[in-house]
């Protein structure tokens, strides 16, 4: 389980988030939704111990993300929205490179097995020999996810996993996330409500620097008197105080 308690974060004198509290249950998909600039990526990076809270706490499966970052990084996999795929590597070479880094203390055969396991889960075995820079956007996003899976984390933290994908690629990514959530906790960010309509068991909406809504699709619709999740989202994020 992922738990934030009164999380706050500032960049310089600018406060980005304050009093953010929520939980993401295990072996399920939780969406962190909000308009562009709402602070979603800031939260995700804190969950993965990439940076730390200025106030409050973040824990993942009972491990404090700030006081025990090494252990937390071992159990979390972070997929960035803006992965750099300009390297002159093939898909296999890039996965092997990442495996050698995240599994540095494991023998070569374990690293190789991890590459094939991650590639198989993400449907990449047939493109092992292709140059990474030549892949479609859909395959690049799958490759990013495969890199996260190399260490077989129990928690996947995905930043805008469907960014730049066409409808077919989007459907494939949703199916993959749903399959992975059977054994892993998944927290992902989005500003597109169509991404979460039928995928997530829980939705957290960030607005005006804090949690404006937290619950199931049905609960958010009931809370706002809406029949559609998109309408509920718009009402929540159009409200000046960030709460309905």
CATH of the domain at 172: 3.40.50.300
133 in a structural domain: yes
244 located within any domain: no
Q: Is the pLDDT of residue 240 over 60?
A: no
pLDDT above 80 for 128: yes
226, part of any domain:
yes
CA–CA gap between residue 79 and residue 187 (Å, rounded): 11
Domain membership of residue 190 as a residue range = 2-238
157 in a structural domain: yes
Residue 215 located in a structural domain: yes
What confidence category does residue 164 fall into, taking pLDDT thresholds of 50, 70 and 90?
Answer: confident
Helices H, strands E: what count in the chain? 8, 10
Burial class (CB in 10 A: 0-12, 13-18, 19+), 61: middle
d(CA 59, CA 146): 24
**What is the Cα–Cα distance from 94 to 135, expressed in whole angstroms?**
13
Does residue 167 belong to any structural domain of this protein? yes
| 243 in any annotated domain | no
* Average model confidence (pLDDT) across the chain: 93
Give, as one character, the DSSP assignment of residue 135. Answer: S
Residue whose structure tokens are 């906790």: 185
Give a yes or no: residue 71 inside a domain: yes
Indicate yes or no: pTM above 0.75: yes
- Rounded Cα distance between 126 and 142, Å, is 13
For the chain, what is the domain count? 1
């Amino acid at each position: 389980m992922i738990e934030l308690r009164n999380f706050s974060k500032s960049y310089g004198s600018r406060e980005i988030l304050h009093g953010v509290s929520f939980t993401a249950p295990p072996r399920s998909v939780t969406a962190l939704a909000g308009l562009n600039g709402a602070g979603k990526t800031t939260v995700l990076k804190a969950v993965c111990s990439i940076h730390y809270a200025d106030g409050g706490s973040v824990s993942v499966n009972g491990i404090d993300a700030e006081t025990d970052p090494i252990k937390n990084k071992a159990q979390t996999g972070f997929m960035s929205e803006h992965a750099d795929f300009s390297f002159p590597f093939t898909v296999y070479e890039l996965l092997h490179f990442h495996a050698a880094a995240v599994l540095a203390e494991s023998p070569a055969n374990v690293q190789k097995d991890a590459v094939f396991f991650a590639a198989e889960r993400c449907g990449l075995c047939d493109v092992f020999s292709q140059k990474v820079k030549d892949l479609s956007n859909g395959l690049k996003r799958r490759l990013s996810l495969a890199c996260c899976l190399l260490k077989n984390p129990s928690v996947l933290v995905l930043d805008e996993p469907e960014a730049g994908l066409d409808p077919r690629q989007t459907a494939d990514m949703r199916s993959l996330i749903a399959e992975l959530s059977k054994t892993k906790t998944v927290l992902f960010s989005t500003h597109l409500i169509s991404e979460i309509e039928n995928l997530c068991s829980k939705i957290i909406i960030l607005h005006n620097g804090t949690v404006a809504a937290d619950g199931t699709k049905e609960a958010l619709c009931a809370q706002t008197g809406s029949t559609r999740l998109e309408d509920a989202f718009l009402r929540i994020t159009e409200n000046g105080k960030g709460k309905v």
